[in-house]
Amino acid sequence: MAAEPMTGAESVLRTLSAAGVRACFANPGTSEMHLVAALDRVPDVRPVLALFEGVASGAADGYGRMAGIPAATLLHLGPGLGNAFANLHNAYKARTPIVNVVGDHAVEHAPLNAPLASDVASVARPVSHWYASARDARGAATDAAAAVAAARSHGGGVATLVVPADAGWGPSSGPTAPMPVTPPAPVPAEAVAEAAAALRAGGPAALLIGGAASRGPALRAAARIAAATGARLIHDTFPARLERGAGVPAAQPLPYLTEPATETLAGLGHLVVCGTQAPVAFFAYPGLPSRLADPATDVRVLAGPREDAAAALEALAGELGATGEPPLASARVPEPPTGALDPSAIGAALAALLPEGAIVVDESVTASAPIVQATAGAAPHDWLTLTGGAIGQGLPVATGAAVACPDRPVACLEGDGSAMYTIQALWTQAREALDVTTVILANRSYAILDFELSRVGAAARGPAADALFGIGRPDLDFVGLARSMGVPARRAEDAETFTAALREALAEPGPRLIEARV
Ligand SMILES: Cc1ncc(C[n+]2csc(CCOP(=O)(O)OP(=O)(O)O)c2C)c(N)n1
Ligand SMILES: [Mg+2]
């Protein structure tokens, strides 16, 4: 008897696996059933259930930032993809490699206006560097190979592949071999020479780094260049993944707010940008500039996000003879804090206790600056931030980072308001026994909005602002929420209790949550 032909769904899964995909963050439905069944037959792709698609997409972002290879998501038609949208937006901005696999109606069913039929392509486009819809089961594996190659090309990006149900259940010709990855575009030698001339010109200069330049040998090359030329080394406000801590070259963060950001960049003769774009304000404000660099500064983008920033920095260091050891941040571990619990105390406790090689996911919003400052000399770690500005990413990103790096502890610093967008990520952390310590900055407020209200020149604070920015009524019980999802939790109202809770949480494997009443 002839063997049954492999389904299109299994050919897709086997193709993803052959191209290095090892995790699938999923919330499936009926149109994905053949893909679900195929997961059983392709055991090296780990299925991880998320109870909301925004958790799945954020987890894929955290995974991709840390693993450098894409995870898959498995999403249910347009509505499932739409639920995943905000965290896909964050991944898109971070240029995280991700392969979204989105089930859809069978091709002949799609035009009949069934309840879940929608314009999937229009949902996908703004958050996809690459998009395709498989035409049939025979072509689906080739599409899957192209999707992985696209997600890994040009330094990384989001690829979305729609798999209609009949492309999943129909007969295929088996998996397709991995397709070639297009590396980031090389930076022309003239651009390197021009950047070298700019940095040699004398006068105040700075090197602004982001993307691939914020870690590894690229970061070290940037630090060597800064040391050799006297340029200041500044990093993007919200890096996707920044290496920092004792023994790592220190870069100064570009502040979030327009005024201190323009002040940081004021008076520069030259600004060389590498791995990112020329800096712009997060929002426009009446009377404030949108472009952050001084209009008199010569701004030069040595390498944009799709270009080879690492090679450009090595070439620039070579051109400048910047061969010495770069200056490294020295260890600065504060005494454990005492007394009132505020962001500085949380930063001090974290700096004292952070294990070497930890991954810190920072969605602590108004608490972030003092925590960042306090941890500059902590044991070396990676710092993952809200690159796309859409809140609700911290808990999911921490989840995915922990799946990618099971041997590294993950600490997630999370605003209480931001936490509530995707709180069910805790359930996935418990189920997968992930080593994540979540610290909730429980100020019972959307504090940043209160602050921004006056900055944009809106009328005096009224009852609507109270109604829309206060989240303390009813009071959220994060300890109860965590425990209900299988995550042991404690509440801390002073620095001593917090430090003890953090020490315990970091020492234990598996997820823990601390509600820090600040
Ligand atoms: C998807 C999305 N929705 C809404 C916002 C607007 N927003 C920015 S910060 C914020 C509240 C953050 O509150 P919290 O996490 O408690 O931090 P806090 O401001 O209290 O420090 C909101 C609603 C956003 N950035 N993204
Ligand atoms: Mg808050």
Q: What pLDDT does residue 456 have?
A: 84
For residue 56, the CA-to-ligand 1 centroid distance in Å is 20
The ligand that comes nearest to the alpha carbon of residue 447 is 1
The ligand that comes nearest to the alpha carbon of residue 419 is 1
Residue nearest to atom 16 of ligand 1 (CA): 417
Residue nearest to atom 10 of ligand 1 (CA): 446
Full-prediction pTM beyond 0.85? yes
What is the rounded CA–CA span in Å between residue 433 and residue 442? 24
Q: What pLDDT does residue 169 have?
A: 98
Atom of ligand 1 nearest to the CA of 421: 1
Contacts of 364 (CB under 8 A, 6+ apart): 343, 371, 413, 414, 415, 439, 441
Q: What is the DSSP string of 173-200?
A: ----PPPPPPPPBPPPHHHHHHHHHHHH
For ligand 1, which residues put their CB under 6 angstroms from it? Answer: 86, 365-367, 389-392, 415-418, 443, 445-449
Q: What pLDDT does residue 458 have?
A: 77
Contact 425, 55 (CB under 8 A): yes
Q: CB count, 10 Å around CB of 136?
A: 14
Contact 351, 495 (CB under 8 A): no
231-235, 291-295, 463-467: least confidently modelled range = 463-467
* Phi, psi angles (nearest 5°) of residue 94: -80, -10
Lookup: tokens for 62:
């955290």
> 24-60, pLDDT tens digit by residue?
999 999 999 999 999 999 999 999 999 999 999 999 9
Whats the size of the chain, residue-wise? 518
For residue 414, the CA-to-ligand 2 centroid distance in Å is 9
Q: CB count, 10 Å around CB of 271?
A: 25
What is the rounded CA–CA span in Å between residue 501 and residue 214? 31
What is the rounded CA–CA span in Å between residue 244 and residue 251? 8
Lookup: tokens for 518:
């600040």
Contacts of 423 (CB under 8 A, 6+ apart): 395, 481, 485
The ligand that comes nearest to the alpha carbon of residue 366 is 1
Residue 411: pLDDT band with limits 50, 70, 90: very high
The ligand that comes nearest to the alpha carbon of residue 89 is 1
- Calculate the dihedral angle through the C-alpha atoms of 97, 103, 109, 115, rounding to the nearest 10 degrees: -110
> 451-479, pLDDT tens digit by residue?
888 888 777 788 998 899 999 999 999 99
**31: which DSSP letter?**
G
For residue 415, the CA-to-ligand 1 centroid distance in Å is 8
> 246-287, pLDDT tens digit by residue?
999 999 999 999 999 999 999 999 999 999 999 999 999 999
What is the rounded CA–CA span in Å between residue 341 and residue 286? 35
For residue 445, the CA-to-ligand 2 centroid distance in Å is 4
Atom of ligand 1 nearest to the CA of 363: 15
For residue 282, the CA-to-ligand 2 centroid distance in Å is 19
Residue nearest to atom 12 of ligand 1 (CA): 446
Type of residue numbered 399: T
Atom of ligand 1 nearest to the CA of 443: 20
For residue 365, the CA-to-ligand 2 centroid distance in Å is 8
Type of residue numbered 365: V
Name the residue of 93, 386, 387, 391 whose CB sits within 8 Å of the most ligand 1 atoms, as the mutation to test its pocket. Answer: 391
Residue nearest to atom 21 of ligand 1 (CA): 366
> 389-407, pLDDT tens digit by residue?
999 999 999 999 999 999 9
- 158 pLDDT more than 60: yes
Residue 2: pLDDT band with limits 50, 70, 90: low
For residue 469, the CA-to-ligand 2 centroid distance in Å is 9
For residue 418, the CA-to-ligand 2 centroid distance in Å is 7
Q: CB count, 10 Å around CB of 148?
A: 27
Type of residue numbered 448: I
Q: What pLDDT does residue 1 have?
A: 56
Residue nearest to atom 8 of ligand 1 (CA): 391
Residue nearest to atom 26 of ligand 1 (CA): 390
Q: Provide the edge-to-edge strand list for the sheet that holds 46-49.
A: 46-49, 23-26, 71-76, 98-104, 158-164, 130-133
SS3 311: helix
Type of residue numbered 121: A
The ligand that comes nearest to the alpha carbon of residue 238 is 1
Average pLDDT of every residue of the chain = 97
For residue 446, the CA-to-ligand 1 centroid distance in Å is 6
